[in-house]
Chain A
């Protein structure tokens, strides 16, 4: 007679043991997995200030932000015109030039090809700049225009614009 409730209780005990064991194991694994995401010092170093007073029209510089190259370009009148002329609707990743810049002459881009992560050419005067006179990725032949938008080649998206603010006329804070 006493057998039945006993078995029920054992089932309950077994179930809670297995459940608690599973929860405990998961809770034990979690800190280790979490430890692999960026540490506090990595996150804190996420902003960089850049002095842009020395950049001439048509020139561009590359700086490092979060370990990635960031292109800062002072565009010429022609380049701005060329970028604005394009109809956003015709593009693979439709975006107006005005949405990609804060001040017309300053273009700030993350210099990482949206295809498979190579750094596009076009920063130096002697570099290949691609068919649209912006940047050209040597890995798989993506062409970007003077607003950093994808125009030809395998890349699916425009070059990213990082978060940045003008602290004053000559300093940009990226991140």
Chain B
């Protein structure tokens, strides 16, 4: 090897010793210390960090739960309750894990909303978007597998319904389903393999998250105005400027999730899952986890079994090609007067789909679900390409520092050299 390569020098000799052999210190310094963030980024840009924190929390709490969990149909339910009753802080670990899953989805949904609204999926971040959709898919699989483990009524029947989706595939469907279950019905073999997969998938997610982060660091983060960093003055270092904002976001998130974990730990749970699984009795309403409900609504809106399954998976797969459906060069919807409203309509529509996905599929609800389904696919296939073609975007600002000095700094009392503002004067009196 080239002994003359340039090696970073640090004050600490231990760091130097490591750096010379494995330049990991300078890597972290570059990627998480000096990494330039557009300085106009708002708190929407903290949700990636929040998602990472949640992922780590889920993995940690999951590992410790697994130490006390028994993946056997006769014992799974009791072992979960034993965790809640007899294991030291077991109730805390379990409530962190079960509510953490729901919050993970809330955070990732907001992260996706941010990426869509501000056009973070566009050139040159398409691969980054694709990796993100992969993470989302893996999360859905993991949460479905995990939901089976407590072996309550919803666990059992949820697993039954979802695995039956595969039987919709012509010819090989039934065989595929039996192969997935390892039995003719959801049984002990199923529970065991679901546990094994539920344990390993989060580490796969962690790996893809690593790629996702590495990819975004190549071209840098997007920002609310969707324009590129042009000079040094457009950005701030991640440390400490963005880290401190992420920490504030983390504290707000901490308050929100703690309120649920400690004061309403079963708010987001289904009561039926506290009834041990019974293969002979189906609960009156089988509902998915609420965070998967929009896709469930799409499934049920289609009167044909195979068609429903295809559209449901299609609803996710279509996200992969979004960067190529949207032909507009302008990233941020803030500068797209028409598309902006369709985009917001898409978010509302997704929410409505989730809402009806939790209700019985009949009458008005079914009708709403079908309208929602049409808008969902219409948004991608018709609205997005068409609006991109006819729309005349607003004029983009010259630079990020321009936007920052004009719109942001005065509001937070920053920019001492800038225009004095009332907020700033108040601050100096402190």
Spell out A's residues near B (CB within 8 Å): 2, 17, 21, 31-32, 34-37, 39-42
Contact = CB atoms under 8 A, between A and B. Distances in A.
Contacts of A39: 68, 82, 86-88, 90
A17 B88 contact: no
Contacts of A32: 60-61, 64, 89, 93
Contact of B64 (A2, A35, A40): A35
B82 A41 contact: yes
A127 B89 CA distance: 45
A36 B83 CA distance: 11
Contact of A2 (B61, B82, B92, B428): B428
Given A32-B93, A35-B93, A36-B67, A17 B86 contact: no
Given A35-B88, A39-B88, A39-B90, 9 more contacts: A17-B247, A21-B247, A32-B61, A32-B64, A32-B89, A37-B88, A39-B68, A40-B87, A40-B88
A35 B85 contact: no
B195 to A, nearest CB: 19
* Residue among A17, A35, A37, A41 facing the most chain B CB atoms (10 A cut-off): A35
23 contacts: A17-B247, A31-B88, A31-B89, A31-B92, A32-B60, A32-B89, A32-B93, A34-B89, A35-B64, A35-B87, A35-B89, A35-B90, A36-B64, A36-B67, A37-B88, A39-B82, A39-B86, A39-B87, A39-B88, A40-B87, A41-B82, A41-B86, A42-B86
Interface string B66-106: 01100000000000001001111110110000000000000
A37 B93 CA distance: 14
Contacts of A36: 64, 67
Nearest to A42: B86
Contacts of B85: 40
A11 to B, nearest CB: 13
A40 B86 contact: yes
B79 to A, nearest CB: 11
A120 B82 CA distance: 35
Given A2-B428, A39-B82, A41-B82, A34 B88 contact: yes
The 10 closest A-B CB pairs, nearest first, are A31-B89, A40-B86, A39-B86, A41-B86, A39-B87, A34-B88, A32-B64, A35-B88, A35-B89, A31-B92
A34 B87 CA distance: 9
A13 B417 CA distance: 24
B100 to A, nearest CB: 13
Contacts of A17: 247
A40 B428 CA distance: 56
A41 B64 CA distance: 18
B196 to A, nearest CB: 22
Nearest to B63: A32
Contacts of A40: 85-88
Contacts of A21: 247
A36 B90 CA distance: 10
A39 B247 CA distance: 35
A38 B149 CA distance: 23
Nearest to A33: B64
Nearest to A24: B254
Nearest to A40: B86
A91 B372 CA distance: 86
A36 B64 CA distance: 8
Contacts of B67: 35-36
A45 to B, nearest CB: 11
Interface string B326-339: 00000000000000
Nearest to B244: A17
A93 B86 CA distance: 38
Contacts of B93: 31-32, 35
A42 B428 CA distance: 60
Interface in B234-269: 247
A32 B86 CA distance: 14
Interface in B173-220: none
B64 to A, nearest CB: 5
Nearest to A38: B88
A32 B66 CA distance: 12
A64 B70 CA distance: 23
B382 to A, nearest CB: 48
A39 B89 CA distance: 10
A40 B81 CA distance: 13
B138 to A, nearest CB: 24
A23 B93 CA distance: 19
Contacts of B92: 31
A80 to B, nearest CB: 43
Nearest to B67: A36
